[in-house]
Structure 1
Amino acid sequence: MSKVKLTDRYVATITAEPGKRLEVFDQHLMGAGLMLRVTDTGRKVWMVRYRTDDGQQRRLNLGMYPDIGLGEARGRAAEARKKAVDGDDPAGERRQRRAEARSNPLKTFTDLADSYFAASEVGEWKPRKTKKRASTLAGEKWLWERHIKPELGDLPIDDVTPAAIKKILRSLVATGRESTSNKVRAQIRQMFNYAIEQERVTVNPVAKTTALGDEVPRQRVLNDDEIRALWTALSDRSGLVRKNKPAAESRVFIGEPVSIAMKLLLVTLVRRAEMSGAARTELDLENGIWLIPGARTKSRRPHLVPLSSTAVSLFRRAILIADAKHIDPSPYVFPSPRDRRQPITPAALTHALRHVREALDLGRLTPHDLRRTGATNMASERLGVSPFLIGKVLSHSTETGGAAVVTLTTYALYDYVKEKRAALDAWEALLNTILWGKPGDKVAGYFPDVVPPAMSEELRRRVADDPAFRQALINELLGLPTTATTRQARVTKLRDQ
């Protein structure tokens, strides 16, 4: 037994001689009672030593290294000491929980998965200190059902070995799914961390595996021709046929609401889940504002999206379609066809876009690539928007802490609204130039979706030949904010309320 002021490097490199076991106590102030036990097989376990109120000395297992790092081990040790000072016995409580677990054990990996998902759904298991989002859990369940359960679900938990896990990871990498391989590994690791917390196991087998997938950040950006082809296909979906598919599966069937949602992804640059779950109460179309609550954003902070006239008209069209043939309006812009009380899923956008790009032979294309396309064009010499402002438009998190977090949360919701609107309006103008060859021609291309098809041929010619008349007509039909000054005045008024 020795005493050392532990460091990350020391913990990572310390070894025990063959046939011997080391016990090293931490001399750091925050590590009082903390011990690292090292075996000759390389196994390293954190322990903390304390005394109960009646003077008995206890040792509590804090977890395995490297699953638990030095900093976290010191934090857990401090928590255990505090409980002991308060009269509790953490080790005794753990033994009691273990006895209860033995009376109703988690036997198979499927048993563990069921318990893990149940605990995650109610917020009992929060590895990052916050309850998992429903979308996150949905993704984890998909990975479990598709890739993990078929291979490991029926195995006893103790038989889920590093070798069994590696077999799944290698299989995925061999079929070109390297990113999925890494996600599966991370998912299994989380499940076993939960099992350790439940004292069902003491070792996480994933710690003896490595991420096999060589993930390369996607760089997919649509060129102008691809943007035109995609927008045209979304506007006229008739005749779209997926190539190299059986006849029964080749036709592309995409409803107008989903096509509008995908156009809006390109126009607003929001994330697919933010778009699919858009609620009507979030939209102020008169002022050209979309306020996405923090509960629906990746950063968990509200995100204000200035809406261009294109976005406003598309949203109005989507709402018009949603209300057609229904007495009671849905609370969502894109209600599910199966249950109008729920929105469409983010996956609906991904699947629809996959079918369209297969019909157009555009190569691999995801909803996030539309977001990247807009951001890349903003940053290019075509628009010259600063990276900082693009980050604001995309609602990327700002690395701040302390009082700055309070300031951002309370006051910064309307920060840079004018600049964000200018950036999105510039992107709209460029998009219109790409689509129609006229930066100010903000109605062409989606005007047929708004103007009744029964209008006279004379009116159609005037709309086609007179941009000013066309814009005035669309403003009249949709009630769009007429000028940037008017929009900014409305934003200022809303902010001051």
Structure 2
Amino acid sequence: MKRELTDIWLRNLAPPASGRLEIRDTDVVGLVLRVTAAGVMTWSVRTRTKDGKQTRPKIGTYPSLGLSAARKAARLALTGITSGADPIEEKRAAREARRHRMAEATVTERLAEWRAGREADIEKPWSDRYAAEVARICDRDVTPRLGNRALVETTRADWTALVATKRKAAPAMAASLYRVVSSFLNHAEAEGWVPLPLLPRKGAAKLAPMPKARTRVLTDGELLEVWRATEGEGVKVRAFVRLLILTAAREMEVADIAVGEVDRARGRWTLPGSRTKNGKGYAVPLAPLAMAEVDAVWPAGGEDCGGDWRMLGSINGNGFRGFSKLKARIDATIASNRAKDSAGLEVRPMPAWRWHDLRRTARTGMTRLGIPRDHAEAAINHVSGRTKIERTYDVHDYADEIISALGRWQAHVAGLVTAQPAAEVVTLADRRHRAA
């Protein structure tokens, strides 16, 4: 039917009992409103393209698109069609282009899109620390193997193999990789980037189970062997290993020690929260043995180099890297030293150990030295050893206790290295406590 449409008439328009009703506007010739029995009202433009082909592009639904706006949209569409445009063909081409883009989008491109969206999420944003961890995992583990492939062409076998390979090389890191990859692929499925899930929904227990907690602790003799194995290394490498032993800090924390973090006058290394695993900064004492290692790598320009100048890298200003190669050299040196000292007898290899075992060794050593548990936990910047109630009601920063605990540990190591009994280190806080 034809008629001049008005807002009042449209508001009172009832849907047909069955089928559909079409009303052609007499004001804008070509504008059509289709009404279904379900009450759905759809605007479209009915006309012919320049080559005579009939076309009927949809322009919206009523009442979301009111009469005035529908007429304006219809006039624009009719003008375009008269000029040679074909809206339906353009939409079809756009859909095809989207499908083509989706088919060609690489894993790297989709990862970047996913990360950007998650980092910009207002309701559940990633923390800076977690965003950096995701970036590191993607750049280290995912992009090198699958980055250049189209995401839709990857298979479940590709992704499970990625996690399985990581599990063989580094079981603990495989769990983190699984979490990141699983989150990404769930998002990809929800967005329609892939038609099917590419990782099992509950596959973590099988594909990347958490490894058993390590309990390896080096004996005093083994610790001394590691210390002496660094004697043939360069000063920066030697400082890295020895500061790991003395400070009980994590590998990356020591590897990136910077000029601005060290107060040489006070013998303090202050780790900012941005560089610690739990986001909590703390101060580490540098007794004479530790200060000697820092002094050996202190840059010629000192503080003029800038606070961010990292002291241990092979390239000036960068942090130390090459953990695996260094570990292999240290192990080889220890084996060689044991052979030299064996006097021809059978040589027993040192039981396998990792860099992180030095941290556990220090923590265990503090207990042996009689350091209270909460002080020793604070000394390695652990918060997991305290209950939620303790963390809520005991907000003491343990700064003095950390200095005391690590000072006693460093004195113990000094005793091993110099073959002298460890002198007790007493901080100002200790003196006050004893005087009370």
| Structure 1 CA distance for aligned equivalents of residues 127 and 303 of structure 2 | 39
Match of 1:160 among 154, 157, 160: 154
User: For residues 396 and 486 of structure 1, do their structure 2 counterparts lie closer, same or farther at Cα, with a shift above 3 Å needed?
Assistant: closer
Deviation at 1:334, TM superposition (A): 1.3
- Per the alignment, residue 112 of structure 1 pairs with 107
The answer to whether 1:336 aligns with 2:313 is yes
Quick check: 1:290–1:307 contact (8 Å CA) kept in 2?
A: yes
The answer to whether 1:369 aligns with 2:357 is yes
The answer to whether 1:130 aligns with 2:130 is no
The answer to whether 1:185 aligns with 2:161 is no
Deviation at 1:270, TM superposition (A): 1.0
Deviation at 1:487, TM superposition (A): 11
What's the secondary structure of 2:215's corresponding residue?
Answer: coil
Normalised to the residue count of structure 1, the TM-score between the two structures is 0.54
Match of 2:418 among 409, 423, 436: 436
Letter in 2 for 1:356: I
User: For residues 406 and 484 of structure 1, do their structure 2 counterparts lie closer, same or farther at Cα, with a shift above 3 Å needed?
Assistant: closer
Structure 1 gap ranges (5+)? 1-52, 57-97, 238-253, 443-481, 490-497
Q: Deviations over 1:26-65 (max 9, x none)?
A: xxxxxxxxxxxxxxxxxxxxxxxxxxx9799xxxxxxxxx
The answer to whether 1:227 aligns with 2:201 is no
User: For residues 136 and 267 of structure 1, do their structure 2 counterparts lie closer, same or farther at Cα, with a shift above 3 Å needed?
Assistant: farther
- Per the alignment, residue 360 of structure 1 pairs with 334
The answer to whether 1:272 aligns with 2:251 is yes
Deviation at 1:327, TM superposition (A): 11
Deviation at 1:367, TM superposition (A): 2.2
Quick check: 2:404–2:426 contact (8 Å CA) kept in 1?
A: no
The answer to whether 1:351 aligns with 2:348 is no
User: For residues 487 and 376 of structure 1, do their structure 2 counterparts lie closer, same or farther at Cα, with a shift above 3 Å needed?
Assistant: closer
Quick check: 1:350–1:366 contact (8 Å CA) kept in 2?
A: no
Deviation at 1:429, TM superposition (A): 2.2
User: For residues 178 and 422 of structure 1, do their structure 2 counterparts lie closer, same or farther at Cα, with a shift above 3 Å needed?
Assistant: closer
Aligned-pair identity in percent equals: 20
- Which piece of structure 1 moves more, 255-264 or 430-439? 430-439
Alignment of 1:195-234 (within 5 A): 195-196=188-189, 198-201=191-194, 204-208=197-201, 209-210=203-204, 211-213=206-208, 215-234=211-230
Deviation at 1:130, TM superposition (A): 0.9
| Structure 1 CA distance for aligned equivalents of residues 431 and 352 of structure 2 | 39
Alignment of 1:437-452 (within 5 A): 437-440=419-422
Q: Deviations over 1:213-255 (max 9, x none)?
A: 5522222221122111111121x21xxxxxxxxxxxxxxxx42
| Structure 1 CA distance for aligned equivalents of residues 176 and 429 of structure 2 | 47
What's the secondary structure of 1:219's corresponding residue?
Answer: coil
| Structure 1 CA distance for aligned equivalents of residues 280 and 264 of structure 2 | 21
| Structure 2 CA distance for aligned equivalents of residues 435 and 159 of structure 1 | 58
Letter in 2 for 1:220: R
Q: Deviations over 1:347-392 (max 9, x none)?
A: 334432332123324454332111111011112xx31223322221
Deviation at 1:329, TM superposition (A): 3.2
Quick check: 2:103–2:151 contact (8 Å CA) kept in 1?
A: yes
User: For residues 176 and 336 of structure 1, do their structure 2 counterparts lie closer, same or farther at Cα, with a shift above 3 Å needed?
Assistant: closer
The answer to whether 1:287 aligns with 2:266 is yes
- Per the alignment, residue 417 of structure 1 pairs with 399
Match of 2:296 among 292, 298, 317: 317
The answer to whether 1:391 aligns with 2:388 is no
- Per the alignment, residue 12 of structure 1 pairs with none
- Per the alignment, residue 238 of structure 2 pairs with 259
| Structure 2 CA distance for aligned equivalents of residues 197 and 274 of structure 1 | 38
| Structure 2 CA distance for aligned equivalents of residues 194 and 101 of structure 1 | 22
Q: Deviations over 1:451-486 (max 9, x none)?
A: xxxxxxxxxxxxxxxxxxxxxxxxxxxxxxx97339
Letter in 1 for 2:240: A
| Structure 1 CA distance for aligned equivalents of residues 187 and 314 of structure 2 | 37
Alignment of 1:242-257 (within 5 A): 254-257=233-236
Normalised to the residue count of structure 2, the TM-score between the two structures is 0.61
User: For residues 274 and 225 of structure 1, do their structure 2 counterparts lie closer, same or farther at Cα, with a shift above 3 Å needed?
Assistant: same
Structure 2 gap ranges (5+)? 1-61, 66-93, 336-349
| Structure 2 CA distance for aligned equivalents of residues 123 and 485 of structure 1 | 48
Count of residue pairs brought into register by the alignment: 321
User: For residues 405 and 306 of structure 1, do their structure 2 counterparts lie closer, same or farther at Cα, with a shift above 3 Å needed?
Assistant: farther
